[in-house]
Amino acid sequence: MPAAPAVSPRPVRDQAHQAGPIQRSVELVSPRWSVWVLQSLAGADAMRHADLQAALPMVNDTTLHRRLQQMDEAGLVHRSRQGRTSSYALTGAGKALEPVLDTLWDWGRLHQGAHQPKARAQVIEEALAPLSYSFATDILLELEHGEAYWSDILQVLPAGSAGHRVAALEQQGLVARDGEPRNQRYHLTSAGRALEPFFDAAEDWAHAHLPGAPRPPAASPAMAAALAVSRPAASPAPTEQRAEASRAQAARLRSATSRLVFSHQPEPQPAPLIISAAPARQR
């Protein structure tokens, strides 16, 4: 009977979910109209509330006020007052989000398959929608390591959420499966793999600008255990294989740091003020 092919062990996961830097970044910019506000403020030193309202006529005044208040509390926007007039400007963290969001704009133009031109903010907002699902980034980061069985996915999220979340990512074209029904393997599609530049940029932004997301020590024992992969000694791999191994190592590091930087669950975030009727934005 032929021996089964050797399979490298997958990194061990913490059983309790902890939102990582990437998910925290997504949570800050995914609420409706946040990207539009960031884009409007990016072209000016400061804007009065009335000027922002004129630039975003599709947003009612009450919604815009509340969204600006939330972004001010999150540290993305700074509000200043002169008498009864309020003006808003991007903070350093808000300005630093522009190149991060650019990666989603590039991704959306290539992978969302729009049949008509869309505004940059709309493309980014639609790209953020599937990533804002609970545990979505956990699943995608897990699959960056390679194909995973259902048991592997259950290490990253509660069993009660697994089926719904994976199905949602399949519907969005980010995850696919193959194999026999009782032995199916899940993997990223080309669109899912293409999100890697955004994950890298979002993680770097979070480590630089979120107080609760410091970059962990490189020599952390827990991280070393999470990154440990058994490989037999072999001759130097071809260039493409070395590049693939490097990408896999980066994915393991990103996934491990996402779970090791917090010692407690993040504080509850306020519920989005606007909930789109589109199925893709429902949680």
Q: Which of 12-21, 102-111, 173-182, 225-234 has the lowest mean pLDDT?
A: 225-234
Listed in sequence order, the residues at least 6 apart from 157 whose beta carbon sits closer than 8 Å to its beta carbon are: 17, 135, 138, 139, 165
Residue 12 pLDDT: 39
Residue 251 pLDDT: 59
What pLDDT, in 10s, does the model give residues 63-107?
A: 999 999 999 999 999 999 888 888 999 999 999 999 999 999 999
Q: For residue 222, is pLDDT > 70?
A: no
CATH number for the domain whose boundaries are 21-215+239-264? 1.10.10.10
pTM of the model: 0.70
What pLDDT, in 10s, does the model give residues 2-53?
A: 454 444 444 434 323 334 889 999 999 999 999 999 999 998 889 999 999 9
Residue 267 pLDDT: 46
Q: Which of 67-76, 135-144, 159-168 has the lowest mean pLDDT?
A: 159-168
- Tokens 């930087």, residue located: 261
Residue 189 pLDDT: 96
Name the more confident of 202 and 283.
202
Q: For residue 258, is pLDDT > 90?
A: no
Q: For residue 269, is pLDDT > 90?
A: no
**130 phi/psi in degrees, rounded to 5:** -70, -25
* Average pLDDT across the chain, whole number: 76
What pLDDT, in 10s, does the model give residues 95-136?
A: 999 999 999 999 999 998 656 688 999 999 999 999 998 889
Q: For residue 247, is pLDDT > 60?
A: no
Closest CA to 126 of 96, 104, 141, 100: 104
